[in-house]
Amino acid sequence: MVRKWLFRLSIGFLLFPVVYYFYPEFKLPLGVKIDRLVVFKSERKLIAYFKGKELKTYVISLGGDPKGHKQFEGDNRTPEGNYFINTKNPNSGYHKNLGVSYPNENDRARSQKIGKSPGGEIKIHGLKNGMSYIGKFHRWFDWTKGCMAVTSNEVDELYEAVAIGTPIEINP
């Protein structure tokens, strides 16, 4: 009896990752535009909006030390505050990316007070080139240097739907 139970439990543990990996997720329809992005770091969510209507919620990974506002370069934190998408890179080392306008004047002043660089290059990006097969499993860990990571398929969607100048609000 115990052996049957352990066998079933083992099969369940083996099947869960396979089902998780292949379970289809909602995709944005082609041609949809996004005019606002909102991030909730504590929930690991990036929500895309158009004209106040929620279009899709993405599960994200953050930097290795995600609590709190980014203070300086190398702290592995994701900034908090109001920014905008300022660049789009189709040839990123992480599939594609959307640049976030960090640092702003307040960020520069804050890091200057402690004698450090604020850093920069905060992005919404996909998985490292050649690693797209990891897919949704990347969500199980915070692994970036302060960026917001989605799957490579998801960054493809965002890259097409988000224009430069789109506001992004990053909340704790």
Show the tokens assigned to 78. Answer: 């994701």
> For residue 160, what pLDDT band results from cuts at 50, 70 and 90?
very high
Three-state secondary structure string covering 83-116:
EEEEEEEEEECCEEEEEECCCCHHHHHHHHHCCC
- Phi and psi at 16, nearest 5°, equal -55, -50
Show the tokens assigned to 95. Answer: 């599939």
At 115-126, the pLDDT tens digits run 888 888 999 999
Q: Does the pLDDT at position 16 exceed 70?
A: no
At 65-113, the pLDDT tens digits run 888 888 888 899 999 999 999 999 999 999 999 999 999 999 998 888 8
Please compute the mean of the pLDDT values over residues 28-39 and round it to a whole number: 93
Partners of residue 54 on adjacent β-strands = 49
> For residue 143, what pLDDT band results from cuts at 50, 70 and 90?
very high
pLDDT of residue 134: 86
Domain 34-171 fold is: L,D-transpeptidase catalytic domain-like (2.40.440)
**Contact criterion met (CB below 8 Å) for 146 and 63:** yes
